[in-house]
Every structure is written in C-alpha cells, then in structure tokens.
C-alpha cells in the first residue's frame, strides 16, 4: 500500500466528506480528492484526466495492492459502521446519523445521512435545538464532522463540485458524494461532470440517492433556521474543544436578554454573529473567530441581531456606542443597519 502524509490525508478526507475547500488550489485538470471503491477504475480515471498534480487519489486496496499514483486504503468511507484505514496510524469511522447517539466515538468520525430515517433524525435534532436549546452531544464533539452539511440545510457551499471531490462506486458510476445523484462514469471528463453537476444542483448532487428531492426541499423550506443551526453547532464544538461547556446559544430556546423573544430575525441569517452564554461567561462567534464579550454588550448585540437592526426602545444610543467600540477593537462591523429613534439619542 502506498502512503501519504497523515495531515494531507485528513485534510482531503474532511474536504471530500463536507465539501469544504482545500487549503491550496486544486490545480488544472484534476479533482481535489477522488475516491474509488474499486482499484480497477484507476486506468479509466487517469485516461479521463480526472487526476491532476494535486489530486489525492484513494482506491480501496485489494489483496494485490493498487497502482500508482493511487493511495490504497482498507475498509470503507461509504458504509455505515465501517472504518477507513490508511494501513498505518490513521483511522476514520463512518456513522449513520440516526445511530450516532448510540455509537461510541473513538477518534475522527464522519456522521452521514444515508436515508430518509437519518434525515428525519437530523431534522428532529434541529427542531429540538430551536425549541429547547438542546443540541445533540455527538454532533458538538470536536472529532466529529457532519457530511454534506450544506445540502442538509440549504446553505451555499461555494467550493463544492467535481473539481473538489468525486466518488466512483464499484460499477464505475461517479458522484460528488456517495449519497448523491450520479453525474456520469469513470470515463467522463471533468468538464462533462462539472456541466452535469451544474444542471443537477449541489443539494441533489450530494443527497439525492439518500433523500428524495421533494422531501428534502419541503423540509428546508419549512426550516429557514437550519444554516444558522449548523453555525451554532460549529461554535459549540469550537468552544468545547477549548474546554468550555454548558453554553446556550441565543435564539435557540432562550435569549440572554430577559423578555426578548427566542424567535427573531437573526435565526434565518447564518452570516450574523452568534451570542453564546453560560452562567458567567459570554462569547461572540463570527465565522471562525471567537472572543469573550461583556455581558451587557452581548445583550445589546443580541437585541440588534434579533430585531434586524430595528432595535427601537430596546437599546439606547450609549449602549450602541459601547457596542461599536467593542466591535472596532475586534475589527468587526455589523452586517445589519441599526436604527434607533431620535428620542433615544
């Protein structure tokens, strides 16, 4: 079995599972990460031009090994309950979403929606988080990643597509995800696969083999908060990795500000800052940035976000000035215009 750098392998596998961009450019004429269920397809993908200078080509290793430039692996990346191994010191588990609360996480784990029951379990967890502020423990574990999260929530995954990731099953059918729509075969060029991906759409390309399009689209339409829900999951996971637990997320079941309704305009916008709070500490998360914040300033920010800038008599000019000073210190600007009546100034 050929080997590859452990760090590079982990980065590519996360990108392949989640459609997150790779750290560097993919390179001309090749896929970022290409996983083959059958090493017999190596010559075909090479001839089709799917393998470029920066491609990580992974092929299931049979008893005879795999051909260069592929890197062999044992186990599976596509079967629930199975484990991927590079034959050395790296292991990656794959769990079905609905079974994940009952599984033990021993290391890096991909949680995947394989069918309608998994999808319904995902929606039930999201609904509970919105109503009660309770997030699933397994999902906020730092070693767990949720596969195809953008497709599950309707969020935009700008890097996704055949140039980033592909999977070829044992019959040589190719998709961007093992649970997605078939885009072609191992004999198709990257240009043809990309054109079919554009026609199919990223959500269908990632999930159509697992969840009927009509059911997925109806569920997402009824839950515009789903992208922000996964932003909250990511924020809780990041803080947990730092040893900070027991936090609540503003808008999910409660608010830091007494009397402020949990339902608010911020729930439908995943780009807005998140306010997280415990009994003592308060934090703001903006994308990958995290910082501690004064509790009163956090309440002002929360009011502004929840009302989409129409804070009215909920905040004073002085409170806004203090919030502005805090945001300036952290080089941040609010993405919503704030309007306060003149009488409050």
pLDDT at 340 over 50: no
| String of DSSP letters for 182-235 | --EETTS-HHHHHHHHHHH-HHHHHHTTTS-HHHHHHHHHT-TTHHHHHHHHHH
Q: How far is CA 214 from CA 148, 179, 211, in A?
A: 17, 16, 8
pLDDT at 33 over 80: yes
Binned at pLDDT 50, 70 and 90, residue 329 comes out as confident
pLDDT for the residue 336: 57
pLDDT for the residue 68: 73
Per-residue pLDDT tens digits for 227-263:
999 999 999 999 999 999 999 999 999 999 998 889 8
Omega within 30 of 0 (cis) for the link into 287? no
Q: What is the dihedral of CA 200, 205, 208, 210, to 10 degrees?
A: 180
pLDDT for the residue 85: 92
pLDDT at 108 over 60: yes
Binned at pLDDT 50, 70 and 90, residue 112 comes out as very high
**Nearest CA among 192, 159, 156, 160 for reference residue 174:** 192
Mean pLDDT value across residues 321-341:
68
Per-residue pLDDT tens digits for 118-143:
999 999 999 999 999 999 999 999 99
């Amino acid at each position: 079995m050929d080997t590859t750098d452990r760090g590079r392998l982990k980065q590519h596998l996360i990108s392949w599972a989640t459609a997150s961009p790779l750290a560097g450019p993919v390179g001309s004429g090749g896929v970022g990460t290409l996983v083959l269920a059958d090493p017999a397809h190596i010559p075909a993908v090479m001839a089709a031009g799917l393998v470029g200078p920066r491609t990580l080509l992974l092929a299931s290793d049979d008893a005879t090994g795999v051909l260069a430039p592929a890197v062999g692996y044992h186990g599976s990346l596509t079967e629930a309950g199975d484990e991927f191994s590079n034959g050395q010191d790296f292991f990656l588990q794959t769990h079905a979403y609905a079974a994940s609360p009952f599984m033990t996480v021993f290391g890096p784990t991909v949680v995947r929606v394989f069918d309608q029951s998994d999808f319904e379990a995902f929606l039930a967890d999201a609904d509970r988080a919105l109503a009660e502020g309770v997030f699933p423990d397994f999902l906020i574990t730092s070693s767990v990643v949720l596969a195809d999260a953008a497709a599950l929530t309707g969020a935009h995954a700008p890097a996704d597509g055949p140039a980033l990731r592909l999977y070829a099953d044992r019959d040589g059918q190719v998709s961007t995800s093992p649970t997605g729509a078939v885009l072609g075969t191992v004999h198709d060029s990257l240009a043809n696969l990309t054109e079919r991906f554009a026609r199919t759409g990223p959500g269908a390309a990632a999930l159509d083999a697992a969840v009927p399009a009509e059911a997925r689209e109806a569920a997402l339409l009824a839950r515009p908060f789903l992208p922000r829900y996964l932003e909250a999951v990511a924020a809780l996971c990041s803080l947990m990795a730092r040893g900070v637990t027991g936090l609540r997320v503003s808008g999910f079941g409660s608010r830091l500000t007494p009397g402020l309704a949990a339902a608010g305009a911020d729930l439908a916008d995943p780009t807005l800052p998140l306010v997280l709070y415990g009994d003592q500490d308060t934090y703001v998360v903006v994308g990958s940035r995290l910082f501690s914040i004064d509790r009163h300033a956090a309440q002002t920010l929360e009011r502004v976000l929840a009302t989409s800038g129409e804070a009215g008599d909920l905040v004073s000019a002085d409170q806004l000035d203090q919030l502005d000073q805090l945001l300036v210190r952290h080089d941040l600007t609010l993405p919503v215009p704030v309007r306060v009546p003149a009488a409050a100034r």
